[in-house]
């Protein structure tokens, strides 16, 4: 009998093959105290486990390195770097020294501390970084328990669909190396490194398919639809025939999209559209370059602070931004100044001071930076210095009024003068822009546009603040809709302000990466998109098959509607008609 299991589709495509249930039970971690005299020995045992975990990852990396692009191997490098991170080592060692914990429990306490930091973040990408913490901790714990690193027999994996509780990036790469057809995990989210990796290597994948291991046995025939997040166990003949046809069609579409790599984004009536990527760290540029030779429209610098669990000094920031700039090889880099506060915080500062009643409305982003200029100035100095080496722009988040902007500009000018006085090479004409992500800023977009070199619309926060809701609150998340008329009006106001002032306006929120909204945004006059790397080709395909003149008249009529439901219905119909037109 067929069983249908739903999960979260994270990598599109159809896979058909026999199941391989991949079981790795994690031993329970027990707490016990050790004598002070044994502290040194316990610390050495922990360090030995770190070394063994690093050795295992390097062995996996070396085994698959011959036929794996560097940008893919970077996912393993991330875990290798985490093994060297003081947040893991020193924090765990401190737990052994201060509380006489055994190494396993000391590491467990430290991992819970780190996971809590990420769990409290609103940003979906940053929140899923806890998966990497858990993956690394699990490997270290296995090394402490001296549990062998289980690797299935490669001959049993070719063409199979892996069913697992979870997979690390190293697991995924090893399994892909053995030519699996796809994978399904019971846990994980759409923005985890494993999910992102599955897209980059082109394996159909589903995460969050709860209880899959209980419902499926090794050897059973499976179909997975990575686009719909659907798993079918023991399909009948009609289902197999249907999905084989879909698989053939999907392969043809991927072939079509791959032909768009490094091709300009130009509408059918000749309008060039700029597509840039979003990154969180310099290593993300490798994935971006795999899809297109383009620049970065949003570099979220707070990840450097969060991962280090400290405010890095000027030199550390300068070297990091320089690494990103050089990897772009002449393409522009837009660096957003740090957006800490609310959901994104450095652990050591969380418990200082009274708890904010509403963190999202409190001391965050530029407000936080201007209150603590001694911490902000090193970042300004680093950005000004790296801008002397290539095409760099600075972007200020969460501005709400012109007075605030003038204060920031004054601080930037003072920082410039100090660097010039020190005879440090800088870009004196560094372009400065603002994130438009609160309604007050959108309504004042004309004034901001007259004072700045560019604007960038951050739809994630703009939608949240306009609709007065928390998008990760399950009770009200259904209200979070980019097509709300008020949100669209604010976006249109900002785009119009940029055109009036003659400066570029980009859109860098999740809305830009969703192909469902590409035609809408084009019709509204958006000419600069900053999106996730894996959405580049799909968005480019839509742009290259769109007539801008025709879209503008249609979108203008849609924007006159007052109902979110009506707008959504009209956009869906427009997308369907346009897709059918260019598919024929």
Structural domains in the chain, CATH included, are 3-24+150-239 (3.50.30.10), 36-144 (1.10.274.10), 274-583 (3.20.20.60)
Percent of the chain with pLDDT over 90: 59
Tell me the per-residue pLDDT of 238-261, one tens digit each, with 9 for 90 and over: 999 999 999 998 888 888 888 999
Distance CA 99, CA 118 (A): 25
Is the confidence at residue 283, as pLDDT, over 90?
Answer: no
560: left (phi over 0), alpha (psi -120 to 50) or beta: alpha
Tell me the per-residue pLDDT of 78-121, one tens digit each, with 9 for 90 and over: 888 888 887 778 889 999 999 999 999 999 999 998 888 777 77
- Per-residue pLDDT, 78: 80
> DSSP letter string over 173-196?
HHHHHTT-SEEEESS--TTSHHHH
More confident of the two residues 422 and 281: 422
- Per-residue pLDDT, 81: 82
Place of tokens 């501390």: 113
Identify the helix (H) or strand (E) that includes residue 299: strand 296-300
More confident of the two residues 427 and 174: 427
Over range 493-498, report the average pLDDT: 98
Q: Which two tokens stand for residue 558?
A: 């849609």
**Alpha helices in 36-85, H assignment, sequence order:** 39-64, 70-84
Active site residues: 193, 508
The least confident of 59-68, 153-162, 479-488, 554-563 is 59-68
The least confident of 63-72, 392-401, 561-570 is 63-72
| Phi and psi angles of residue 271, each rounded to the nearest 5 degrees, phi first | -90, 120
Name the nearest CA neighbour of 527 among 558, 554, 496.
496
- Per-residue pLDDT, 261: 93
- Per-residue pLDDT, 527: 97
Place of tokens 């399950």: 474
Q: If you average pLDDT over every residue of the chain, what do you get?
A: 88
**Alpha helices in 154-269, H assignment, sequence order:** 169-177, 193-201, 212-215, 237-258
Angle, to 10 degrees, between the axis of helix 39-64 and the axis of helix 86-99? 160
- Per-residue pLDDT, 175: 86
Its pTM stands at 0.73
Identify the helix (H) or strand (E) that includes residue 333: strand 333-336
Is the confidence at residue 348, as pLDDT, over 70?
Answer: no
Is the confidence at residue 162, as pLDDT, over 50?
Answer: yes
Distance CA 504, CA 530 (A): 12
Q: Going by DSSP bridges, is the β-strand pair 505-507/454-457 parallel, antiparallel, or unpaired?
A: parallel
Q: Which two tokens stand for residue 229?
A: 């997040």
Neighbours of 141 (CB within 10 A): 20
Over range 380-399, report the average pLDDT: 97
Distance CA 129, CA 281 (A): 13
Name the nearest CA neighbour of 89 among 36, 124, 136, 150.
136
């Amino acid at each position: 009998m067929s069983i249908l299991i739903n999960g979260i589709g994270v990598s599109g495509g159809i896979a058909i093959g026999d199941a391989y249930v991949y079981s790795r039970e994690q031993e329970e971690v027990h707490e016990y105290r050790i004598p002070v005299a044994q502290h040194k020995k316990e610390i050495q045992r922990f360090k030995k486990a770190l070394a063994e975990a690093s050795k295992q990852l390097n062995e996996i990396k070396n085994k698959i390195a011959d036929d794996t692009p560097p940008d893919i191997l970077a996912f393993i490098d991330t875990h290798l770097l985490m093994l060297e991170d003081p947040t893991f080592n020193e924090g765990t060692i401190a737990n052994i020294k201060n509380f006489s914990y055994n190494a396993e429990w000391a590491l467990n306490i430290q991992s819970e501390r780190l996971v809590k930091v990420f769990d409290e973040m609103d940003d979906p990408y940053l929140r899923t970084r806890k998966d990497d913490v858990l993956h690394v901790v699990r490997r270290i714990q296995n090394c402490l328990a001296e549990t062998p690193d289980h690797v299935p027999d490669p001959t049993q994996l070719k063409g199979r669909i892996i069913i697992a509780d979870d997979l690390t990036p190293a697991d995924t790469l090893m399994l892909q190396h053995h030519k699996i057809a796809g994978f399904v995990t019971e846990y994980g989210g759409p923005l985890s490194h494993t999910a992102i990796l599955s897209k980059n290597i082109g394996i159909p994948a589903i995460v969050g398919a709860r209880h899959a291991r209980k419902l499926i046995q090794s050897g059973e025939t499976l179909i997975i639809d990575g686009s719909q997040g659907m798993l079918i166990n023991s399909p009948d003949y009609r289902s197999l025939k249907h999905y084989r046809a879909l698989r053939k069609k999907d392969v043809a579409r991927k072939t079509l999209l791959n032909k768009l790599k490094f091709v300009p984004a130009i509408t059918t009536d000749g309008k060039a559209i700029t597509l840039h990527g979003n990154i969180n760290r310099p290593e993300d540029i490798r994935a971006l370059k795999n899809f297109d030779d383009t620049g970065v429209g949003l570099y979220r610098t707070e990840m450097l602070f969060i991962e280090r669990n400290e405010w890095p000094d000027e030199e550390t920031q300068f070297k990091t931004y320089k690494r990103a700039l050089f990897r772009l090889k002449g393409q522009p880099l837009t660096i957003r100044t740090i957006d800490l506060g609310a959901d994104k915080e450095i652990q050591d500062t969380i418990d200082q001071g009274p708890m904010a009643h509403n963190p999202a409305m409190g001391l965050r982003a530029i407000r936080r930076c201007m209150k603590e200029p001694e911490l902000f100035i090193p970042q300004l100095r680093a950005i000004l210095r790296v801008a002397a080496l290539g095409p760099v722009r600075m972007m200020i988040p969460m501005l709400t009024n012109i007075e605030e902007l003038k204060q920031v500009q004054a601080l930037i000018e003072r920082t410039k003068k100090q660097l010039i006085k020190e005879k440090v090479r800088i870009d004196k004409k560094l372009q400065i822009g603002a994130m438009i992500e609160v309604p007050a800023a959108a309504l004042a977009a004309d004034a901001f546009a007259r004072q700045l070199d560019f604007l960038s619309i951050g739809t994630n926060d703009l939608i949240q603040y306009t609709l007065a809701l928390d998008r990760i609150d399950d009770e009200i998340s259904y209200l979070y809709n980019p097509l709300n008329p008020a949100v669209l009006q604010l976006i249109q106001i900002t785009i119009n302000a940029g055109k009036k002032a003659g400066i570029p306006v980009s859109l860098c929120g999740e809305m830009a990466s969703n192909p469902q909204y590409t035609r809408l945004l084009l019709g509204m006059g958006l000419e600069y998109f900053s999106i996730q790397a894996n959405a580049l080709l799909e968005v480019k395909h839509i742009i290259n098959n769109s007539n801008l003149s025709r879209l503008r008249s249609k979108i203008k009529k849609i924007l006159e509607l007052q109902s979110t439901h009506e707008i959504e219905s009209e956009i869906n119909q427009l997308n369907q008609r346009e897709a059918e037109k260019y598919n024929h």
